[in-house]
A and B are shown apart, each in its own frame.
Chain A
Amino acid sequence: MSTADGSVLGNTQIYGGAPRNRAFNVVLLADGFTAAQQNDFNTACASFVTAFIGTPPFDELGPAINIFRVNVTSTDSGADDPVGGGGTGATARTYFDSSFGGNNIRRLLVCNTTTVLQVAAAQVPEFTAALVVVNSTIYGGSGGGVGTYSLASGATEIGIHEMGHTAFGLADEYAYYAGGNEAGHDHHPAGEPSEPNVTINTDRNTLKWRWAVASSTAIPTMSNPACNTVDTRPSPVPAGTVGLFEGAHYYHCGGFRPEYDCKMRALSVPFCRICRQTIWNRIGPLASLQARARTPISVVARYPEHLDVFAVANNGRTMSNWWDVSTGWAGFFHVQGGIASPGGSGSPVTAINRYSGHLDLFTVGTDNRVYSCWWDAGSGWHPWFPIGNLQVRPGSAINVVSRYTDHLDLFTTASDGRVMSTWWHEGAGWANWFQVMGGIAANGATVTAIARYPFHLDVFTIGGDNRVYSCWWDDRSGWQQWFPLPGITCRPNSTVTAVARFPDQIDLFTTASDGRIMSTWWNIRGGWANWFHVSGGVASAGSPVTAIARYSGHLDLFTIGGDNRIYSTWWHEGGNWAGWFNVSGGVGQAGGQVAAISRFADHIDLFTVGADGAVYSTWWDISGGWAGWFALGIT
């Protein structure tokens, strides 16, 4: 029995229309179907599509899923059914050598997996998962590099469960190895499992799926009182409650699962919330992100060959994408289940890298509290957690400064407009929120801050009289009173952008009430200069001015103009401001923002939400000038 016992007829796409190179491609291959029985295989494939696409979360991910069937004829119908496995002793000459009775267990249906993978790759080179459909009504299936299942009722569930392992890296959540009476499986061994859906950690504050656990849910939610056996009691909480249920990963005790039930624990039940989220983050990045129109994008370069971008989806999900010079763009994924406040222009996700192997994120949640989460190269993403109980204005931005590696300063506006700050210090944790010198910000104004020295902060906002205000802090003299920078009246929701090209210089940019793009500067010798209009530029209502200093004698500005086009200008020491120009034909959103970063002096990367709601990027390089815009997804 071998490939001589049949032939590959070809493939047919039976579900989906996503580009094959950016899709989750499932391939179903026939075994034990004679030439005359190919319609039976086609019918079985149609049943699989119905079951698969009807299974959450695949039901929401259809636009990024393709399913193909590969018709393969076999000389004989069926599969081997050896007596040693409790079968009839029947033999069948089939292309993939399918056989019941693996390990002398009749339900264990195995095949030649190497041949399956080679045929799948030849027929659908972009395939993600391969499943063999075996023409027999004897119940059976198996997992591994290739899933198999027969035509017996309910066997499609085997294929979906196995995809949980092969495509998404999910662990088995059942609490036993061989049925529950086996020895050596009373207690889970030490060592946190790497899979996202099982744990040995019972600490609510560090639990890897704590983002999905309600504060009212007990942790552990269900404990096994007798570790020499499997806990078979019913759930103490309603179905769908995410908590910590003891008994998982083949052990009666010490291993925990997120929900009482899950498809990774038993067939014919839904995937749990944590598994659904994992599947989302595998398939979701294949699709383009629809972002909130005016919510600012944040970008950091932990090192010159790497970018991390943070945006908010139009449904509020906190999303991230990253680029590495070796692997390109990774695709947008949902960061730890976060949902950002929709007020105003929408709370952005603000990011900072205190050092190259670490990211700290901040946003305002739907309860209008400030949240943070972090990523570390050694431990990955950690769940969102609230910073105090401060109620901020819906849609507020959180601005963050790291004066040195072990320290963070945060700034935002409370629900009543008070300018608020807190700080975090390694070893000491988060301080209480405090009002910065009685400051009150205009409705919609942001609070920006820069650290020219590790012991100094300069803070800026728009006051209630729509003028620009500043104050500063120095570790020798503490906080100083707010003072106005007179000469212009701004939009209440204007942002004051501050750049320190060198420690004794500040350049400020903002928009006047009529949209004019205004600037002033401060230096240690002359103090504050008068405001001036930058090259006649006018910004779209609500659009901030983004400024970067690629080196100390140079500034680049970016904004969305009154015609919603993306504009830039620059200043070089010794010269005047250049005229504004449209960057590569780019069009953004009215009131939108352009994020900019310079990974190295002769390079700029830009990001914005385009007119169609997708996130776009372009770059400038001294050798090639401005490139065209591209939709940011996966490359």
Chain B
Amino acid sequence: MPEEASMRDAYGETLVELGKANPDIVVLDADLCPSTMTKYFMKEFPERSFDIGIAEQNMVSIAAGLAASGKIPFASTFAVFAPGRCFDQIRMSIAQPGLNVKLVATHGGLSVGEDGTSHQAIEDLSLICSLPGFTVIVPADAIETVQAVKAVASHQGPCYIRLGRPKLPLVYTEDYRFELGKAVMMRPGTDATIIAMGIMVATAINAATELERQGINCQVLNMPTLKPIDEAAIIKAADETGAIVTAEEHMEHGGLGSTVALVIAKHQPVPVEFVAVRDTYAKSGKPAELLERYGLTAKDIVNAVNKAIKRKLKS
């Protein structure tokens, strides 16, 4: 079993590191600092920490005001609440004026588990990607989280990072260097390409290993930056392998699959299959049970790859 680590801890610890280096970094939370792990920063830099209480709309607009005054605010809550609860505040206070706010939302996707529908963000990426000017990142493990948080701190403009609740297996080693807007080749292959992000990257690698046993040589791309997406990498993958499967812990609409399909349709039409939550809400359950119930396992990816390859051979 690969080593597991918490993305949320990685975020919290990186914030402290950033805070030590840059006095303009400020942190906001909405009464969830022990869960989002902003608690580390809040303990270290109380004068630069603002727990706004259970008022996400207020938090988002306050963060915008801080950014308009030269600060670099990191604002955190659960992904269901930002962007969901405060979409208009994000749109008008942050996105339209292009203010330098960093929203880091935790507890994304179905892997939240037992808390159920109200706490399972499966539409957040669709909402946030619809806002012009936002940079959107979904890291695949704790190591990529550290790098992504550092990258957005030095990037001018609105950013959204989505993290998950559970510990995840590490897909990277410490020498990994995240590059904003760049896909990362996790495993080369010739028959098809799996494009995945977040929790689904490790699952995609497992699926590729299983496919290898079936005699299928499958490439895996990690797409940590959902927006602006690495179009060149997608076009190259479509060109070289002729079949694409996307995998995400999100609704089929408006997330990774939709974005990749847009690029494919415009530039390099090949068969695309989508591993994502269909048009439904989920329910309480253990993360693994939910991922299985809603079609987000390695087996689902294997089936999707086989389907995509079949379509490719037919055409």
On whether the two chains bind one another, the answer is no
Question: Which residues in B have some Cβ–Cβ distance to A below 8 Å?
Answer: none
Residues of A within 8 A of B (CB): none
